[in-house]
Structure 1
Amino acid sequence: MEIRPVGTDAAALASYEALFRACFPGAGHLNAAYLQWLYARNPAGTVIGCDAWEGERLAAHYVCVPAQAVVNGRAMRTMLSLNTATHPDFQGKGLFTRLADATYQLGAQAGIGAVYGVANANSTPGFLRKLGFALVRPLDARVGFGRIERAAPVAAADGFRRDWSQAALEWRIANPQRAYRLVRAGDGTIGAEAATGKPGLLAWDELALPAGMPSPARSPAWAMRLHLGLRPGGGRPQGLWFEIPQRLRPSPLNMIFRPLAEGVAVPAADSVRLGQLDFDAF
């Protein structure tokens, strides 16, 4: 079995699309057009990851997406653990662990300070036991109306937050499979909303307006909002919001974090600012 860095050319993306099709028959969004946007167009850099090849067969694949962030008051390059797949013919051979270890080595060599992710209940234990991640905190899941915070984000209080530039944000909301639109939210904050596939329910996130970026002219749509994420101290919602009971969540989600550079610490559980835009829930 040969371990190689991932590619972003047409042939590589076609091989990844075929692997995803074999592993996840219902995930039609993982096509070459989506992968080209995600893997090659990100202003923060192309994906970092590794593939396992058995001769001419792609056995397994794992990538992390570079992202600028602030961790415990320090600006740094991080990466989001995202796409992984092992062909059914090669499962049970420990390939994901090998690919993850190789990927984190590449990330550290490229100046990445930490890797973070959002894992479901089934995959979280493997990340913690085998890959050296720490559990930061289970994500909040809320539905309601209004804003998820009464005031503009306070950056100094954040142990972790994505540091969105205008270019990076414009790339992010242009996801060819589920585009967001930016709307006014006030107080130096903008909202981002996207369809969830359920009538009358929009995915909703809020973030600080990037420096130099004009405030959106659009008004928010009148609909119930769904927010998945974390806010420092649990946040201070404005409006009418309800926490979704655990028994009604299809798969509870957890934020996980692993330092890759010296001096980087796991952020405190009540100091994280995370939303759908930051981990690709929609």
Structure 2
Amino acid sequence: MRFERSRFSEQALARYASLFAACFPTAHKLQRIDYLRWLYLDNPLGEAVGFDAFDGERLAAHYICTRAQVSLEGRPGPALLSLNTATHPDFQGRGLFTKLAELTYETGASEGSGFVYGVANANSTPGFLRKLGFGLVAPLEARFGVGPLGRFDWERIAREARFRQAWTPEYLRWRLANPANPVAVRVEDGRRIGVSAATGTPMLEAWAEIPAVPDLRITPRRGAPSARLWLGLMPQGAGRLGLFPPVPSRLRPSPLNLIFKPLAGGPVPRSGEVAFSFLDFDAF
């Protein structure tokens, strides 16, 4: 087995799309070249970081982290977001994902990333914790609602949240431009930004709110009223949610867990210190 750093030529992207089709036939966005190009290449923070495993010329496994800019303890800095992983069915059970992840984290750390974070489902969380040294921050909350998220001190969140995305105008505009599922700005009032994206369920949109980003210069779009799904975490004491009751456990296909791995030492954030939403990972 040969291990190589991931490449992002059109030929390489097509090879990844074929691997995803073999591993996840219903995950259609992973089979779109324009989506992979946007995710791996177009990020203004830089190209994605990852490794591939080859058996001869055959792609056996692939793992990628995209670059992120995260405010940790009030200091913005580079980080990695753990995202796509796939091992062809013919090569599963050989520990390839663990090897690719270790190579990726070593490379990311050498290039200045201070930590890796990601969202894992119930099946994959134990492997990240036991084999790769991640810590569990918290399960994400899932809530249905209408209207604004609630009453929050957005300036305080921007100032005091120990872990949150440090959006810049360019970085946020890139995130909004997901070709597989564009994100629309619905609210921008100088204190907060409210955004929505399709969930695949009629009349239900994914919803997130973040502190205002100076100089964003995006005009909010009008849209028909719909129910909203909020998936995330908010810092303790920063405010309260509005009409957003929890989604019953029986309606949730799998709990999603926020996980965190320091690459240069340091503690794992606690759930009450985190501002997190669907914008911060590739949920929709």
State the TM-score, normalized to the length of structure 1. Answer: 0.95
Distance (whole Å) between structure 2 residues aligned to residue 247 and residue 234 of structure 1? 29
Distance (whole Å) between structure 2 residues aligned to residue 118 and residue 221 of structure 1? 30
Q: Deviations over 1:94-151 (max 9, x none)?
A: 0000000000000001100000000000000000000000000000000111222413
2:275 is the alignment partner of 1:278: no
Which residue of structure 2 aligns with residue 102 of structure 1? 103
Give the Å deviation of 1:187: 4.9
Which residue of structure 2 aligns with residue 229 of structure 1? 232
Q: 1:244 to 1:160 in 2, by over 3 A?
A: same
Give the Å deviation of 1:266: 1.3
Q: How does 1:158-237 map to 2 (within 5 A)?
A: 158-214=161-217, 216-219=219-222, 221-233=224-236, 236-237=239-240
Aligned CA RMSD, in angstroms, stands at 1.5
Secondary structure of the 1:142 match is: strand
Give the Å deviation of 1:64: 0.3
Q: Deviations over 1:135-176 (max 9, x none)?
A: 000000001112224134222321110011111111111111
Unaligned 5+ runs, structure 1: none
Distance (whole Å) between structure 1 residues aligned to residue 223 and residue 162 of structure 2? 29
Contact 1:136 1:256 survives alignment (8 Å): yes
Q: Which amino acid aligns with 1:13?
A: L
Q: Deviations over 1:175-202 (max 9, x none)?
A: 1111111121535111111111212111
Give identity over the alignment, percent.
52
2:272 is the alignment partner of 1:266: no
Which residue of structure 1 aligns with residue 242 of structure 2? 239
Which residue of structure 1 aligns with residue 117 of structure 2? 116
State the TM-score, normalized to the length of structure 2. Answer: 0.95
Unaligned 5+ runs, structure 2: none
Distance (whole Å) between structure 1 residues aligned to residue 256 and residue 120 of structure 2? 6
Number of residue pairs aligned between Structure 1 and Structure 2: 281
Contact 1:184 1:220 survives alignment (8 Å): no
Q: 1:257 to 1:234 in 2, by over 3 A?
A: farther
Secondary structure of the 1:96 match is: helix
Contact 1:115 1:259 survives alignment (8 Å): yes
